[in-house]
Structure 1
Amino acid sequence: MKKKLRIYFLPFMAFIVLLLIWAAAAHFSDWNAHIFPGPLQVAKSMWELTSDGTLLKHAAASLFRVTLGFYLAIILGIPLGIFMGRWETARIILNPLIQFLRPISPLAWIPISMLLFGIGDIPAVFLIFLASFFPLTVSTAAAVIAINPVYFHVAANFNFSKYEVVSKIIIPAMLPAAITALRITITIAWLVVVAAEMLAVTSGLGYLILDSRNALRMDYVMDGMIVIGLIGLLLDFVMMQLSKIKSVFWGTLSK
């Protein structure tokens, strides 16, 4: 009971302290309230944006782009990671190319994505895909390489097909590392979509923040920032719950 109280009470108190510091800073600041709004003003403006549906529209647009780009990265990156981790020749061929492209910031691709796809959802989805694809591929390959070889020897003794090796050995053994990679990557994807929306689209939380800044509505800017943080917290919570599923941890990833 005390442990649960600490888990929920201490973070709650941290948020309260942050709000108090924010309120005090806004109250004693020399800046105008329109430039540095306090918590109450931001809460009021958030209610306005929520009531007229503006906030929901922009949040839904951002979530759509993240979901689509992240899903594409999963269905392409994880199978490629399994392929590279299981077959050394594939790893020798593909790893240098991936390691060359991986350090390039997704934001550096913005001019190219806008040139190729124009203005709209596709450039943002493409950037989210890039931000998610490389970490997922590399993490999956590393997890497959780390699987205890004993499992593959047993599979060979029982004449497992390639499909059975993947479905009964590789996927269950790599799940812990894969879920951890998903948890990290979804945060990266969420960061990228906000930046991409400031340049390539006319909707989404990133666009809301940029448009509000141009209109000197700093309360709306902070509303967008708060919603970004809340959605990020929710996504991280979902991934953390997935990592706690007991059926995930059936084997060891160490040799």
Structure 2
Amino acid sequence: MRYHQPSPTYAVLAPFALFLGALGLWWLLCALHKLPATVFPTPSDVWHGFQEEWRSSRLWQDIIVSLWRVAAGFSLAVFLGIPMGLWLGNSPWVRTALLPIINFFRNLSPLAWIGFAITWFGVGDPPAIFLIFLSVFFPMAVSVASAVAAIPEVYFRVAHDFGIRGIRRILLVTLPAITPQLITALRVTLGIAWVVLVAAEMVGTRSGLGFAIYDDRNALRQDLLVVHMVVIGLIGVFMDKLVLQLSKSPSVQWGYRN
């Protein structure tokens, strides 16, 4: 039995109602001293902290820096990871030889490379971009390879009968067929990149949202800590929604109908 999808109104009101409920519970626990100020800040403290960050313009500077690092590392990883995945998926011989190595690095936490990243690139943008690249490239390559390997062989036989070969087969058959899996891989890896960025900025940089979290902790400013946590989460949700919009484009619907 197929259930009806929630209406657009419900999709907006339900999360908003849950947000208000969580905010009310937070305020109530603080008012009843179940959450002492030394343990967790009150909603009013967080609001005042947000106003402080807003007026100082530091918040916007950190957001811009962090988004730039994610855009650079993520774009480079996607630009190289998708072709690698297509190569692995289209060639069983290459896939058998390289996939174990790629899986090894995929299962190795990018944060394990922090020491090398700082040694090789110093501090600033390069080490953070390098760690983001590592966090995206290997999962992207494996996801694309798996999607390509799962394409029904009949698609390629029909393409061969119509004289569609080489790069035209990739553009007209392979990429449209893996569109759903590719969009899912983009969403997942972008989330990973955003998480890794925050951790990388705590160690190898002196700016960005990750460094702001580290600085707030050292200064014992739990109000600002929550402010930056909320900003990080909201930006992550926004980026996920942005990538999800790709699936609604008419130019990529071919893969969803198969």
Shorter-chain TM-score category?
over 0.9
Contact 1:146 1:253 in 2 (8 A): no
Match of 2:84 in 1: 80
| Aligned-partner Cα distance in 1 for 2:23–2:65 | 28
Q: How does 1:36-185 map to 2 (within 5 A)?
A: 36-185=40-189
Contact 1:147 1:253 in 2 (8 A): no
Residue 199 of structure 1 aligns to a residue in which SS?
Answer: helix
| Aligned-partner Cα distance in 1 for 2:32–2:114 | 40
For 1:93, give the aligned amino acid.
A
| Aligned-partner Cα distance in 2 for 1:30–1:143 | 50
For 1:39, give the aligned amino acid.
P
Match of 1:28 among 14, 28, 32: 32
CA shift, 1:252, in A, is 6.5
Deviations 1:8-27 (A, max 9, x none): 11100111111112112223
Kindly report the root-mean-square deviation, in angstroms, between the aligned alpha carbons of the 2 structures.
Answer: 1.7
For 2:216, give the aligned amino acid.
S
**TM-score scaled by length of structure 2:** 0.93
CA shift, 1:137, in A, is 0.6
| Structure 1: stretches of 5+ with no match in the other structure | none
Residue 216 of structure 1 aligns to a residue in which SS?
Answer: coil
Match of 1:240 in 2: 244
Residue 203 of structure 1 aligns to a residue in which SS?
Answer: coil
Deviations 1:93-142 (A, max 9, x none): 21011011111111111111111111111111111111111111111001
Change (3 A) 1:31 1:180: closer
Higher relative contact order (CA 8 A, sep 6+): 1
Match of 1:15 among 6, 11, 19: 19
| Aligned-partner Cα distance in 1 for 2:66–2:31 | 33
Match of 1:222 in 2: 226
Between the two proteins, the alignment pairs up a number of residues equal to: 253
| Aligned-partner Cα distance in 2 for 1:109–1:159 | 46
| Aligned-partner Cα distance in 1 for 2:53–2:256 | 49
Contact 2:73 2:130 in 1 (8 A): yes
For 2:98, give the aligned amino acid.
L
Change (3 A) 1:198 1:3: same
Contact 1:34 1:216 in 2 (8 A): no
Identical columns (%): 44
